[in-house]
Amino acid sequence: MPGDAGELDAGICIQRLRQHFTKIELTLLVGICGAMSRNGDNEPIYLGDVIVGTEVWRYLHNARGSRLHNGGVDLDLRNYSAGDSCQRVKQLGKVLQTAQFRQQTIHCSFGLLKNLQKGQKGAKFKYPGCEMDKLFRADYVHQHRSSPRSCKCDCQHGSSCDEAKRTPCDRLGCIYDKIERVRAATEQPPKPNIHVGTMASADIVMRASPEFVTQLKDRNVLGIDMEGGGVYRATDCIVIKGVVDYADTHKNKIFADYAAASAASVALAFLMKLYPGNKIRQPQKQPSSIIIMSEMNITEAIEL
């Protein structure tokens, strides 16, 4: 997607696309996101899984923030509901939630993902390994702990300095007995699972506190991104994003390429299931279009 990350650039981009493609039927926003550690059915969400957002909650819309002494921000949320989806998006969301369609899409997308991983160019899209999927306890903050400290890291109030945010856990010295969950090892790379629910969106990088995570879970939020709100406001949209982190302070990009590839594979599998028989490559006399917007600087229009 051209421009910077965020709702504004994403909204402007889709508005310009709509000027050139006047019969858009549906927009898919494909990329990466942060996620909750479990879905509404208490099933685990792992790094590399794919969140399908059929509703988008712009949680900072009309919110008021106050700066805390530790450098954090206390948010007074005032927008308590997700945006209303169009009937078509609601119907597609219900279809995706059926066990049969979901499992067929997972199976199809895994085949597409394996094809994407072939060859030298596909090496970067391979699964990083179960041992790299670490979920820290919600109250364990990614920060410097050496004493004395000359930075803004504050163990008592849970704040992190900019340098700490840029430093990986292994170099920062995050204690691994504070890990809540490590994905169990498997003989073969696991299939990315698909979770359907609400995507929260705002123009900030989310490093959620335990209290804020509770509010997200109460609204069936599964993923958090920075573009969905802008596209969702401008057009009928389904957000399809691979999970790159757990929306906490322990962020890294180890799963970024794999998560992006997983999301792209699910998006294509979704279209192949909706339009079987390769109809996505057979334009009609009066075609409509599906716009696929990607954070990997690829924008594709598929005539239907």
CATH number at residue 202: 3.40.50
Nearest partner of 5 among 232, 230, 261, judged by Cα:
230
Q: What is the pLDDT of residue 281?
A: 45
> Does 193 map to a domain?
yes
- DSSP structure string for 207-219: ---HHHHHHHHHT
> Does 177 map to a domain?
no
**Cα 89 to Cα 175: distance, rounded to the nearest angstrom:** 43
pTM here is 0.79
Q: What is the pLDDT of residue 304?
A: 33
> Does 48 map to a domain?
yes
> Does 170 map to a domain?
no
> Does 12 map to a domain?
yes
> Does 156 map to a domain?
no
DSSP letter at 123 equals G
> Does 165 map to a domain?
no
> Does 182 map to a domain?
no
Q: Which domain holds residue 43?
A: 7-131+187-303
Residue with tokens 């840029």: 166
Q: pLDDT in tens for each of the 304 residues of the chain?
A: 555 555 555 656 666 776 677 777 778 889 999 999 999 889 999 999 999 998 888 776 655 554 444 445 555 555 545 556 677 888 888 898 899 999 999 999 999 999 999 998 899 999 999 999 988 887 777 666 666 666 767 665 556 776 667 777 777 777 777 888 999 998 889 999 999 999 888 776 555 555 667 777 777 889 988 777 777 766 778 999 999 999 887 778 899 999 999 999 999 999 998 878 655 543 344 444 455 555 544 334 333 3
Number of domains in the chain: 1
Instruction: Tell me how long the chain is.
Output: 304
